Structure 1
């Protein structure tokens, strides 16, 4: 929406698992993301503007 409105650069970043390459069950991959990645890369909407 922000990009379409012409408000400047927008970026979407997401956390994703790869249980196949991690060699763990998908449920465990999601648990690992919640325990190890979310504390470092918190989920939410972030906005930075300069005027």
Structure 2
């Protein structure tokens, strides 16, 4: 599942504060930035934002 964020850095902080683990990124890709994380149950998600 890929989610959209208006503020990627704030989303990274929110994921970590909620007990999630950033698995990859944040990194640039054509059209924006994104990162992938695992929630406390081990489910992986992605979050992207426009530049």
Relative to the length of structure 2, the TM-score reads 0.30
Name the TM-score, length of structure 1 as normaliser.
Answer: 0.30
Higher strand share: 2
Question: Which structure shows the bigger proportion of residues in helix conformation?
Answer: 1
Q: Which has the larger radius of gyration?
A: 1
